[in-house]
Amino acid sequence: MIRFEHVTITYPEATSPTLFDVSFEVPEGELCLVVGVTGSGKSTLLRAVNGLVPRFSGGVLSGSVVIDGRTTSDVAPRDLADVVGVVGQDPAAGFVTDYVEDELAYAMENLGVAPDVMRRRVEDILDLLGLHELRNRPLASLSGGQQQRVAIGSVLTAGPRVLVLDEPTSALDPAAAEEVLAALTRLVHDLGITVLIAEHRLERVVQYADRIVMVPGDGRPVVVGTPAEVFGESVVAPPVVELGRLAGWSPLPLSVRDARRVAGPLRDQLASVGTEVFSRAVRSLGDVVATTDSLQASYGPITALRGVDLEFRAGEVVALMGRNGAGKSTLLNHLVGLREPAAGAVQVMGSVPHRLSARDVVRVAGLVPQDSGVLLYHDTVAAECSASDRDAGLVHGTTRTVLDRIVPGVDASMHPRDLSEGQRLGLALSIVLASEPPLLLLDEPTRGLDYGAKQRLVEVLAQLAADGHAVVIATHDVEVVAAVADRCIVLAEGEVVADGPARDVVVHSPVFAPQVAKVLAPLALLTVHEVELALAAASDSSYS
């Protein structure tokens, strides 16, 4: 169905090709997962499927991409619309209308589907993706996860035989991600659609994949094979695979279910160790940095926050979790003064953030927004750093020092756009951190990060908390929460429904529990690293 033959793609002004001599084939009716570290060219590969690369991106493609017997160099993307549906990384950027129903019908209108057929298909897709309650809503009023589902629905209505999705679950909460993936598997199994997915959160997708295409990104050839084959040696692997490697299970388990079947002996071994070993050393908490007092917020008639009372202390890492649209980003925006409370109060370091001038607010609270790239608008890393020093009135070189601590060795002359996802996040983070705000807020910091980059971020955040910052991360990524958070707050419909030590909140939730916790339940172990520590402790105790 999809065939890449010796495809090499070089972007204009790039010194080396983004993809080099890629050849693989995806047969009809398979769900194929594209994995690789950030910046390895996964998105490029996906966008080449229907010819958006190089037609809309510029650059040179040699070799050929054949879809359903048609070569993309001969056919424009629009004429492949009935064969290939593409959902990009940012669903909102691809919306072509203002309302959900119109968006779903758009591709069919272009294909000339008869009106009654359109009606029927729209209803089908609304049901399939659970969108019927949103059918008349403006797209802009939807949360990220809802937008993602509409975006998928809008290409599905055209009845494509190939579906290409770039990180379809990265913006989704775990439950919504499950839903979307379940819908995709149904499409593959029932309708024989071929699906090509790029995803960083392998823990979510691996179990559904029939085939993995690994793009190493460093010039080595792509690896194609079944999940078990590929993850045997892959540098990127979900926690369950890591756990399997640690425990020496063979074949490697790909799902929690597989792992639980073989995990009995490991559980027993770990249960013999006291639980206190598993818990992270509790950091000493400092003063209260920020408070919200019955904070309320609304967007037009929709209430985003209803009476939130919270307190953030220096030295803690707080994870803010909850469904898409639960009010996480709204809360962060209030803490940094981007929005004015509809009722209630916000205080950060004794002042009201939205009344502070821009220069003063960065000294008390810093926010790294979801798309950290929006903070960067200079030509070079060096220019970004010096501008940041100037803006905040800091000694020249402060930002660069912070950057070197977070991500060492970033070339100062590079354009921020050419940095890897992790480096870019690091740069944005260091700009925010340069004026040393006691309160540091991060909105979905792990979106688009591979496991390695995530691990480095976790280390940085832990260090910042140790230095006395209060760190708040709004995230769907339970693995990151498991790795770094001391405290976890769950928001639902604008209210706080859970607030407590991360371990307690996470382990007992079927949705928010990380893979390791699920495998080892009822043991309260969250990460592979903790298992490692516990095993070491267990062997120590057996020797003594």
Partner 1 sequence: MGADAQVSMTAPRLLHPGAWWLWAVALAACALRTTNPVLLCLIVAVAGWVVVSRRADVPWSRSFASFLRLGMIVIIVRLVFQILFGVRVPGTTLFTIPEVTLPGWAAGVSLGGPVTVESLMAALYQGLRLAAVLACFGAATSLCSPYRMLRALPTVLYEAGVAVTIAFTFAPQAIVSSRQVREARRLRGRSDRGVRAWTASALPVLEGALDRAVALAASMDSRGYGRRGSSSASVRRRSIGLVLLGLVAIAVGSYGLLDPGAPALFRIPALALGAVALLGALVAGGKSSTRTRYRPDPWVAPEWIVSLAGFVAFGSFVIVGRLGDALSPSTNPLEVPAVPFVAVVGLLVGTLPAWFAPHPPTLASTAAPLVVAA
157-196: contacts with partner 1 (CB under 8 A): 158
DSSP at 453? H
Say which residues have a Cβ less than 8 Å from residue 126's Cβ, sequence separation at least 6.
104, 132, 135, 153
Of the candidates 544, 515, 512, 543, which has an alpha carbon nearest to the alpha carbon of residue 530?
515
The one segment of 249-257, 280-288, 371-379, 408-416 that binds partner 1 by CB under 8 A: 371-379
11 forms part of the interface with partner 1 (CB under 8 A): no
- Which helix or strand (DSSP H or E) is residue 247 part of? helix 239-247
CB 383 to partner 1: min, Å: 12
Q: Which is nearer to partner 1, 118 or 262 (CB)?
A: 118
The one segment of 48-56, 225-233, 461-469, 523-531 that binds partner 1 by CB under 8 A: 48-56
CB 106 to partner 1: min, Å: 6
CB 290 to partner 1: min, Å: 16
One of 281, 282, 374, 395 touching partner 1 (CB under 8 A): 374
Distances (CA, A) of 172 to 84, 90, 447: 23, 12, 10
Q: Which is nearer to partner 1, 10 or 97 (CB)?
A: 97
Q: Footprint of partner 1 on residues 375-404 (CB under 8 A)?
A: 375, 377, 387-388, 391-392
Q: Which is nearer to partner 1, 260 or 378 (CB)?
A: 378
| Cis peptide bond prior to 522, omega within 30° of 0 | yes
CB 337 to partner 1: min, Å: 8
Contact between 70 and 82 under an 8 Å Cβ cutoff? The reply is no
CB 98 to partner 1: min, Å: 5
Q: Footprint of partner 1 on residues 469-498 (CB under 8 A)?
A: none
Q: Footprint of partner 1 on residues 420-479 (CB under 8 A)?
A: 431-432, 435
Q: Which is nearer to partner 1, 79 or 532 (CB)?
A: 79
Alpha-carbon distance 452 to 37, whole Å?
Answer: 8
416 forms part of the interface with partner 1 (CB under 8 A): no
Q: Which is nearer to partner 1, 107 or 129 (CB)?
A: 107
- Which position has the token pair 């495998």? 519
Q: Footprint of partner 1 on residues 108-167 (CB under 8 A)?
A: 108-115, 118-119, 122, 132-133, 135-141, 154-155, 158
Backbone phi, psi, residue 541, to 5°: -65, -30
CB 516 to partner 1: min, Å: 35
> Are β-strands 194-198 and 487-492 bridged in parallel, bridged antiparallel, or unpaired?
unpaired
Q: Footprint of partner 1 on residues 256-315 (CB under 8 A)?
A: 300-302
CB 291 to partner 1: min, Å: 21
CB 136 to partner 1: min, Å: 4
Q: Which is nearer to partner 1, 332 or 523 (CB)?
A: 332
36 forms part of the interface with partner 1 (CB under 8 A): no
Alpha-carbon distance 444 to 218, whole Å?
Answer: 27
Alpha-carbon distance 356 to 337, whole Å?
Answer: 8
Q: Which amino acid is at 150?
A: V
The angle formed by the CA atoms of residues 502, 365 and 362, to the nearest 5 degrees, is 155
361 forms part of the interface with partner 1 (CB under 8 A): yes
Of the candidates 39, 33, 67, which has an alpha carbon nearest to the alpha carbon of residue 52?
67
One of 17, 36, 88, 494 touching partner 1 (CB under 8 A): 88
- Which position has the token pair 């029927």? 120
One of 12, 264, 268, 358 touching partner 1 (CB under 8 A): 358
Say which residues have a Cβ less than 8 Å from residue 522's Cβ, sequence separation at least 6.
none
The one segment of 22-30, 97-105, 340-348, 479-487 that binds partner 1 by CB under 8 A: 97-105
The one segment of 83-91, 180-188, 496-504, 518-526 that binds partner 1 by CB under 8 A: 83-91
105 forms part of the interface with partner 1 (CB under 8 A): yes
Sheet containing 495-501, strands listed edge to edge, beginning at the edge strand earlier in sequence: 365-368, 439-443, 470-474, 317-322, 487-492, 495-501
50 forms part of the interface with partner 1 (CB under 8 A): yes
Q: Which is nearer to partner 1, 107 or 481 (CB)?
A: 107
77 forms part of the interface with partner 1 (CB under 8 A): yes
The one segment of 180-188, 253-261, 334-342, 462-470 that binds partner 1 by CB under 8 A: 334-342
DSSP at 266? H
Q: Which is nearer to partner 1, 52 or 187 (CB)?
A: 52
One of 54, 174, 369, 448 touching partner 1 (CB under 8 A): 369
107 forms part of the interface with partner 1 (CB under 8 A): yes
210 forms part of the interface with partner 1 (CB under 8 A): no
Alpha-carbon distance 321 to 338, whole Å?
Answer: 20
Neighbours of 63 (CB within 10 A): 16
Distance of CA 419 to the CA centre of its chain: 18
Count of residues interacting with partner 1 (CB under 8 A): 76
What 3-state class would DSSP assign to 448?
Answer: coil
The one segment of 104-112, 196-204, 265-273, 318-326 that binds partner 1 by CB under 8 A: 104-112
Per DSSP, the residues of 55-116 read HTT--EEEEEEEETTEETTTS-GGGGTTTEEEE-SSGGGG--SSBHHHHHHHHHHHHT--HH
> Are β-strands 223-225 and 211-214 bridged in parallel, bridged antiparallel, or unpaired?
antiparallel
